[in-house]
Each structure stands twice: as C-alpha cells, then as structure tokens.
Structure 1
Amino acid sequence: MTDPAIAANGLRKSYGDKVVLDGIDLVVPQGTIFSLLGPNGAGKTTVVNILSTLVSPDPASGAIRVGGHDLGADPQAVRAGIGVTGQFSAVDGLITGEENMLLMADLHHLPKTEGRRVAAELLERFDLTAAAGKPASTYSGGMKRRLDIAMTLVGNPRIIFLDEPTTGLDPRSRHTMWQIIRELVTSGVTVFLTTQYLEEADQLADRIAVLNNGRIAAQGSAEELKRLIPGGHVRLRFTDPDAYRSAAAALREAARDDEALALQLPSDGSQRALRTIVDRLDTAGIEADELTVHTPDLDDVFFALTGDTTVPSQADPTKETVR
C-alpha cells in the first residue's frame, strides 16, 4: 500500500488560552481531493498553514507527515513537494502574467531556458497565453485565480493546498476552476481544499471532513455524510388507484398521500435499501410509475454538525428520480 499524501495525528494549535485545533486526525490518500469544511473561524486556514509549514503545531501534537516527510524533522523536504494557493492572491498586479510566472521560476531556481518553457506551458494550459503580456492588474478575478494556481505549479508539486480558491468568483469562473482542479488530480496531484461553498465540496471531494470547535465533527464521502442526517426517504407514485392501494397494503409502514396516489418510506437512499423496497413490490406483483429518492444535502449536514441555526438548510433536498 502507498503511504498517504498527508497524515496528521492529534494535531493541536493554541494561541494563548484560545484553542484553535484540539487534537484532529487527518489522512489524505495520494491522488485524491480532500475537502475541509467548517464555519468561519473554525481553524481551516490554521490547518493549511501548519501542514504547509507556515505555522508550527503545538508540541503536544502527534506525528505529522506530508508527502512522506516528517513535518517537524524535515520541513524543507515538505516544502519542496507542495504548492500553496492561499485565500488572497499572490499575483503581483504591477507586472505581466508572464513576468509573474518567470518570477516564480526564478524562486524555484530554474535555469532561464527551463523557466521560460515551464511558464509558457502553464500559461497555455490555463488559457492565459493571450493575456500573458498584459499587467495582471487588468485580469478578471477568474484569470487572476488561474494565474495564481499556474504559479503554484511551477515547482511541479505533488500536493497542492487550495485555501478557498473560488471565493468571490462568478459561477462560470468557479466551474472553470473546478475543471482545473479535477485535471490536476487526474495527473496524479493530491489536492487539499478548504471552501465555504458546500456544493464545491460535494462536486469535487473524494473525502470531506467537517471542522467545528477545533475538532473533526465527522468525515467521510459526501454520500456517507449525508446519511448521517435523518430525513431521507423514498417516494413511490402510482397512476393506477388499484396499484396504489395494493402497494399501500404491501408497504404498511409507508406514509400515504391518497390525493397524489403516492407513498413515502424512510430510507437512507442506499442501494440495499432501494433493493429491499423494489423486491417487496415485485413480490406483491406491483410496479410503481415513479420512484424518487430524497436525501439530505451537505447544507443539512453542515448545519447539523456545526450547530449553526442562523442559516436555514435548503428547502429542496437533492433527489434522483427513476422512472
């Protein structure tokens, strides 16, 4: 088995009497997207700063390894294998996009010819070639974010920390950034992502952890987290009144909607649960005209785990309809 890209045990950080991280454990497999969610002030950026060697963890923390290197014993080796794109752009607006790239190549001690080659390839990859000679101050928000990530890739890192990379971007630019992140992972890069957009984590992350009050409240895939929250159900709709009545008799625990000829059963939406319902209908010789699976979304998960009642969850849960 390959070592994880990131492994942290009992990560702790305090500032005076304020405990920011209270012994959190994280494991991020190589070549995956890991997303850390949490309310403002939960400590997401502190985690990124520690794992990227910008801030030291408390001495009471357990072992922390990034890219196969011990964070405390060999921070320079950790830095050599990672890239960081913070909440605030590192782009210098007074120089051109190309000059920003070449500056980064110089910081990585690349030979001039190699630096120009890498800069040109990355500018083309991120669709910035046409704007390469223009001052970065003239770039749109989405272009600056793309340039920011392109600069991060100059050193060919295998682990990239993206701290709220799409904050402030319009929906089109955000979706473009999602595609870039997916392509990075396809090429073998590991992405550690913090975000305030729950849809972003749902769309991108292989695994999600929810940070609250300095601790990990829960972690797992998006689907696993959604199943932690009650409220999931399956709705069966019929067009034939006789079939509806027969189904109601076969599924006596179902809530009935006689006007809509629909039945509703509690369910976590798993394949096993759906198969059980369908098998019971098959045994009774009944076929539903529509089967709809309703599951809580990540908004519901976030608010339930963080105790945040100031923002209501989405009125319409995510759902998948099978006809």
Structure 2
Amino acid sequence: MIEVRNLAKRFRLPTRGGRTPLARDPRDHDGWFHAVRDVHFHCGPGEVLGLLGPNGAGKTTTLRLLSTALKPDAGSIHANGADLLADPLYARRHIGFLSGSTGLYGRLTARENIEYFGRLHGMTPARLQRRCDELFDLLQMHQFAHKRADQLSTGMKQRCSIARTVVHEPQIVILDEPTTGLDVMSAKVLLDFIASYKAMGVPLIFSTHHLHEVEKLCDRVCIINHGRTVFHGGMDQLRLQGGSADLYDAFVGIVNREP
C-alpha cells in the first residue's frame, strides 16, 4: 500500500538581469515554479493506478518524489506503514522506479546490466541467477540476453530497463510512461508484465498518455492538472464525473472543467 497526501514541490525560476521573467504558467509566481501543488492518491495491494494528465501537468515530478529522487516541500508519502520521507533508504530498497531517463551501460550485455544492478541491491549470486531467469522469461528477453545494450532496439532496451527496475523484487513498482515509443509487440510484452504484477498483489503505478492501456489494466486513476489532483477514483467514477462513457471524452471533460 502506498498513500500520498498533499504533495508539493517548487523550483526556483531563472532570472534575467536580476529580474524574474513574466509568468507564462499559472504555477509561476513569487519567483518560483510550483510543479506540484497538491497531489494525493493511494494504491493498494494488487491494484494498478494510472497517473494521467496533460503534458507538463506534474506527473513525472510526482513520480520522482515517490522514488525519493526529489525531496518534496510539503506533504507525506507512506508505504506499507513506513514514512518514505523520513526513511528514503527504505524507499530505495522496496520501490522499483523506472524513469524516462533510466539508462543502461552500453558496453554490458542485457544480462550483465541486470546482474550489475542486482549486485548493487546486495542480492546473493543464487538469488540473482534465479531472478534473472524469471525476468528473462517474463519479458521475453532470452533472444538478446547476451547482446550489448548499445546494440539493442528501443523495445529491447525498455524491457532491459524494466528488468533492472524490478530485479530486487520490490514491494511497489512505479513506471513513468513505460510504453512510449514502442512498437505494438514490445508494448504488449510490457502491458502483460504489468498485469502479472497485479496478479502477484504488488501495487503498481504507471503514467501514460495511452488511455486504452488505462482501460485495459487500471483499477484506479489519478488525474493531475496544473500540479493538482483533479480526480482520483475508479473507472466508472471517471466516466460519471467526466460526463461520457468514452474514456477519452471523460478525461478531457475533467481536465477542461478545471479553472
């Protein structure tokens, strides 16, 4: 279980000649850009939460706060009873986080990359070998296991990045737009992977712009707009509040309703 309450994060705006440029975004004021202003949601065991919102809404910043890559200015994050802001090492041990910039070492093979990150997590050789075999089956990676990362296709690299994200068997998984730029077959492998974690009872949060993925996998949705949670609930509630049975129209209805 992960629960987020009243999360906020701001960044100092750059100055020109000692003066702050005129505000171009409703979140620009007092010399700060308030990327996240009031985000709240929760995701329970075996649930998949879809994090949605327009470009620049604050989704990626929110996920980086959950991973402890950034420290919030306000709010709380609790996972399985632990305060992640007070104990960020707990978060890094128990959360698997895939960001849009998660990288691989190009000169290492796919398997060597995953083994390297497993060793960083302190995994024993026997456990690491078993885990790699599981992930290579689950993500269909055996055919390129011994291929260098800098020779992999985009889809292969993404599968490898996800495998390194979950090699330590985290209790919570967070994925930032995992299927962006992938072909249909690679995207299906990753969506099946998400479904498998749901079946294992692991809370999983992923951001996406593809609402068909949300409809297929998600139990709950959180929509962020201008740094604030403007909707948090189930799919039926989303359609009801959005005023349409069509998920795309319902999403647009909720976002456009915000001032």
- Structure 1 unaligned segments of length 5 or more: list them: 233-294, 309-323
> Greater CA radius of gyration, 1 or 2?
1
CA RMSD of aligned residues (A): 1.7
**Bigger mean CA offset, 138-147 vs 154-163:** 138-147
Counterparts of 1:113 and 1:8, CA distance in 2: 36
CA distance in 1, matches of 2:186, 2:128: 27
Q: Superposed, which structure 2 residues align to 1:145-164 within 5 Å?
A: 145-164=158-177
Q: CA deviation at 1:11?
A: 0.9
Q: CA shift at 1:142, angstroms?
A: 2.0
Cα distance in 1 for residues equivalent to 2:80 and 2:155: 29
Q: List runs of 5+ in structure 2 lacking aligned partners.
A: 13-31
Distance 1:39 1:229 in 2: 15
User: Partner residue of 1:104?
Assistant: 117
Residue 6 of structure 1: how far off its partner (Å) = 1.1
Report the more deviating stretch, 203-212 or 118-127.
Answer: 118-127
- Residue identity opposite 2:167 in structure 1: V
Are 1:67 and 1:81, in contact at CA under 8 Å, matched by a contact in 2?
no
How far apart in 2 are the matches of 1:86 and 1:136? 18
Normalised by the length of structure 1, the TM-score is 0.70
| Conserved 8 A contact 1:89-1:145 | no
Q: Is the 8 A contact 2:241 2:254 kept in 1?
A: no
Q: Report the equivalent of 1:214.
A: 227
* Paired residue type of 1:84: F
Q: Kindly tell me: are residues 200 and 18 of structure 1, through their superposed partners in 2, closer, same or farther at Cα, counting changes over 3 Å?
A: same
Deviates more, 1:203-212 or 1:20-29: 20-29
Aligned length: 238
Matched, 1:116 2:116: no
Q: Distance in 2 between matches of 1:223 and 1:138?
A: 44
The whole-number CA distance in structure 1 between the counterparts of 2:201 and 2:145 is: 27
Instruction: Choose which of 30, 47, 53 in structure 1 pairs with 2:45.
Output: 30
1:301 matches 2:244 = no
Q: Is the 8 A contact 1:163 1:193 kept in 2?
A: yes
- The offset of 1:137, in angstroms, is 2.4
Deviation for aligned residue 1:214: 1.3
Higher RCO (Cα < 8 Å, 6 or more apart): 2
Rounded to whole Å, the distance in 1 between the matches of 2:182 and 2:101 is: 13
1:122 Cα deviation (Å)?
2.0
Mapping 1:227-306, distance limit 5 Å: 227-230=240-243, 295=245, 297-306=246-255
